[in-house]
Amino acid sequence: MEKTIGIVSGKGGVGKTTFVTNVGLSLIEFEKDVIVVDADLSTSNLGLQLGFYQFPLGLQDVLEGNVPITNAIYTHPSGLKVIPASISLNYLNKVPTPYRLKSLLNDLRGLILIDSPPGLRDDGLLVLKASDEILVVTNPEIPAVTDALKVIKVAREMGKEPMGIVLNRVRDKYELKPKEIEGMCDVPVIGTVPEDKNVKRSMFEKSPIVKHKPYSPASLAFRKIAANMIGQEHIPPRFPRLKRIFGG
Ligand SMILES: Nc1ncnc2c1ncn2[C@@H]1O[C@H](COP(=O)(O)OP(=O)(O)O)[C@@H](O)[C@H]1O
Ligand SMILES: [Mg+2]
């Protein structure tokens, strides 16, 4: 096993699943061996973002102990490995035992990104416990950052210092600045992703933004973060605006 990074947040809807999808795909472009795992067990949609609408086995089946984890790995055309979670409501009231996810993931090879539910209920704690590293996603707004702080505090109580914060949906001057957020949380901001209408458009087209609009501002940001995460030099493409005009 290489490393397991839990992508967490306090508030919901800040962009965790979008991050895991697009950073996962970007890491594949850097020829990394990557597995993305959907541990948002009750409101799972990582599979959907990657175009897996129907699959026989999901993470819930593995956690229930019925099947080996390798049977729930699917491969995206890009080469990205995906362990999706079922969107069925049948699993709603079943909370898996905390350390089971960690021991299951120990058997896998490559860099593992875990998508998670928001907050600090049992299923959120599961991801904090199963991850070697924690990356916090937030929007640059006071309610989202306040909730992120709670997750950071709980992670620290578990002896896990978050490796960084990603600011997603960065828009205008009426929001917190990276330095302010670093000051509030005492965690470095390792990347920022702008608000980008192509995220929604790509979802509609059923193709993640880094594939659908590779030169759009959010795609460039996701690729840059992916490069930073693996210590790879990131060379931004030349003339991205021009490339966008011609359909990229
Ligand atoms: N950078 C962005 N620009 C515009 N919309 C975004 C961006 N990131 C995420 N979104 C939108 O925000 C919503 C929530 O994103 P999602 O990844 O599902 O959040 P979470 O997994 O944290 O609940 C989705 O509708 C998604 O399309
Ligand atoms: Mg999500």
CATH superfamily of 3-245: P-loop containing nucleotide triphosphate hydrolases (3.40.50.300)
- Percent of all residues in the chain with a pLDDT value above 70, rounded to a whole number: 94
With a Cβ cut-off of 6 Å, ligand 1 is lined by 9, 12-18, 168-169, 193, 195-196, 199-200, 203, 218
21 CA to centre of ligand 1 in angstroms: 11
Tell me how far the alpha carbon of residue 147 lies from the centroid of ligand 1, in angstroms.
17
The mean pLDDT of 45-61, rounded to a whole number, is 94
- Band (pLDDT 50/70/90 cuts) for residue 122 is confident
pLDDT, tens digit, for every residue of 62-120?
988 879 999 999 999 999 999 999 988 777 666 666 568 899 999 899 999 999 999 88
Compute the average pLDDT of residues 121-141.
93
How far away, in angstroms, is 169 Cα from ligand 1 center? 8
User: pLDDT digits over 158-203, tens only?
Assistant: 999 999 999 999 999 999 999 999 999 999 999 999 999 999 999 9
Nearest to 134 by CA among 1, 9, 41, 221: 9
**What pLDDT does 175 receive?**
97
CA distance readout (Å), 219 to 18, 23, 44, 101, 121:
11, 9, 23, 30, 31
Domain range list for the chain: 3-245
Task: Give me the phi and psi of 133, to 5 degrees please.
Answer: -130, 155
pLDDT for 42? 87
Tell me what pLDDT residue 181 has.
98
